[in-house]
Amino acid sequence: MSATNKNNIFIDTNVLIGAWSGKKPDSNCLDYLFSLTGKRLFISSLSVAQLVSVFQKKKNNAEIKKIVRYLLSKFTVLSFTDKDIEDSLNIENSDMEDNIQYIISRKFNCLHFVTNNKKDYNRFYILNIIMPSQIRVIKRD
């Protein structure tokens, strides 16, 4: 894999779900990220599917579509392939979803990885793992 790019920021599913569930650190985190210039914000197609699945019982279809459209307008959505899933099988970590997200973020050279599950990603030493409450460590250029 190529070197990481300090301008590439990957946002984990749990932050997106938290932001639209009204959790303050998560929504504040997204507001700050959207204010950054020169940064590229990434999410995975897996995240979009997971968010829709979680909100199916909490929000109506119109609300979910509005959220997805907003995500599409603010983030680059990264697709994953069977090779990415295969690569994730080679990682010694108990959470397969985390492994897939990690592989996707690395494929696009993301240096920063924003998540609420920092401990789940600590073993991925080439990422700068950031909790939403710590997002200001990513500086504006």
- Residues 64-107: tens digit of each pLDDT: 999 999 999 999 999 999 999 999 999 887 788 999 999 999 98
Domains identified in the chain and CATH numbers: 5-135 (3.40.50.1010)
How many other C-beta atoms can be found within 10 angstroms of the C-beta atom of residue 66? 13
Distance CA 58, CA 120 (A): 26
Q: Check: CB of residue 44 under 8 Å from CB of residue 78.
A: yes
Distance CA 98, CA 103 (A): 9
Q: Where are the beta strands (DSSP E) in the chain?
A: 5-11, 40-44, 76-78, 110-114, 128-130
Q: Check: CB of residue 11 under 8 Å from CB of residue 114.
A: yes
Q: How confident is the model at residue 141 (pLDDT cuts 50, 70, 90)?
A: low
* Average pLDDT estimate for 59-64: 96
Reply yes or no on whether the pLDDT at 123 is more than 80.
Answer: no
Please give the distance of CA 12 from its chain centroid, rounded to a whole number.
3
Question: Is 96 or 46 the better-scoring residue by pLDDT?
Answer: 46
Reply yes or no on whether the pLDDT at 8 is more than 60.
Answer: yes
Q: Check: CB of residue 38 under 8 Å from CB of residue 46.
A: no
